[in-house]
Every structure is written in C-alpha cells, then in structure tokens.
Amino acid sequence: MTFVKTKLKLELLEEGDTLEVLLKAGEPLENVPRTVVEQGFLVLETTHVKDDIHRVVIKKT
Amino acid sequence: MSEKNKLSIICMSGDFDKAIAVFTLASGAAAVNYEVNLFFTFWGLDILKNKRGRRFIGKGILARFFNFLLGGRSNLPLSRLNFAGLSPLLMTGLMKSRNVATLTELYDAAVALGVNFYACEMAMHVLGLERADFVPEVKDVLGVATFLELSKGGQTLFI
C-alpha cells in the first residue's frame, strides 16, 4: 500500500515536480524506489532522517 | 507496444478480511499499471451496495430479508472470530494504529487507480438487486461468459 499511496500522489503532480516520501527501512525502502523507477519516475535522492525512517525524493519525468 | 498485464479477481466472499485481500491486490496491481477487473458475485455484491447500513432492499420478501442481514461494506463480518460484528471494528482500529491501510482506504485507492468494477448478473437476479442499488463505480453488469472473455490473457484469482 505504500507504493499505492506514492503512486496516487505522483499522479497528481505535473511533469518536473518532485515528491518527498518518508519510508521505513526494509521492505518499503527497497520496494518503493525500485518500483517508481520501473514506472518511469526518477529517484533524486535517498537520505536517512532518523531511527529507521528514510526520505526519498522522486521526480515525475 | 506491449500489452498491459491483466489481473481479474472474482470476489465471491463478503467477508471483511477477504475484501481487504481483494482491494490490496487490486490497488497494488493497478498502481503498477495492470488492467484490473473485479467481478463481484453472490456475497461479494454486498461490498458494492451504495446505501450504508442494513436496509430492506431488493425484490421479494426473502431477498429483502437477506439483503437486510447483509449490511453492506460498512458491516462486513470477519471470516473467523467475528464476535457478533465487534472484530471488524477492532481490526480496523488495529490497522489504523499500525498505519496499515483500512478497507475504506484500499477501496478508495482502487477507484482512484481506475480498477474496473463489475457486478454478477445472476447473483443480482437471485438477490433481487438492481444496478441502482450499487455504487456508481460499477462499470457494468456481466454474466460469466462475458467476464471470462474479459479476463482472457491475464491472471484470474478467486477470493
């Protein structure tokens, strides 16, 4: 469902806009960036925020 | 241009947990650009009712009695340990507290992602229901043959 929520937000964006997503380490952090790239989006950066939370910035191309 | 992947799900169950499975698969597949078709039959038709709560809808006394007992998407029972309807409420609370999508969120995501909803003509006839008794998301009323044709070439699941 994490990817589903991400995808729904990305669909609302214009081309060139970016989306920041906070993801937990493990399955969400592995699955979401990989799947958005497969769907044709661009992952600009992945940074550790705190504890097991990571911030991923995705660009709609 | 390659054809889209396709997932078709026959939703026979009107259970809360099984509806969660249907909409998790449907929204997940649609999010990765699958064509997704949901065919609601028998108890599954309860998920599509547009009026909330237990209502005496349908043609005929028996049908109205059945439809009253089946209270729509907001009253789906858990398939096990239902505890007179308490468990779905507890389960929804548990899902919210653990940041897991609820049935309502999964349903809304499926609609937003363009999942196709179909109602079974035979089951509608048995339960005395009309298209007007269902949510506007229902794209069409189908028989088995049409659904089989529609689902050809993809994966079909029965829940």
ipTM (interface pTM): 0.82
Beta-carbon neighbour count of residue A12 at 10 Å? Answer: 10
* A10: closest CA of chain B, how far (Å): 11
Query: What class does CATH assign to A2-59?
Result: alpha beta
Nearest C-alpha in A relative to B28: A4
* Alpha carbon distance B75, B89 (integer Å): 9
User: The whole model's pTM is what?
Assistant: 0.90
Q: With beta carbons under 8 A apart, name residues in chain A contacting B105.
A: 1
Long-range contacts from B57-65, C-beta under 8 angstroms, 24+ separation: B57/B129, B57/B133, B58/B127, B58/B128, B58/B129, B58/B133, B59/B128, B60/B128, B63/B126, B63/B127, B63/B128, B63/B129, B64/B128
Nearest-angstrom CA–CA distance, B150 and B24: 21
CA atoms within 13 A on the CB side of B84: 0
Whether B32 sits inside 8 A of A35 (CB atoms) is yes
DSSP letter, residue B133: G
Domains and CATH numbers, chain B: 6-120 (3.40.1260.10)
In angstroms, the separation between the Cα of residue B65 and the nearest Cα of chain A is: 36
- Across the interface, whether the CB atoms of A7 and B105 are under 8 A apart is answered no
**What string of pLDDT tens digits covers the 159 residues of chain B?**
457 899 999 999 999 999 999 999 999 999 999 999 999 999 999 999 998 888 899 999 999 999 898 889 989 999 999 999 899 999 999 999 998 999 999 999 999 999 999 999 999 999 999 999 999 999 999 999 999 999 999 999 999
Residues of A in contact with B113 (CB under 8 A): 4, 7-8
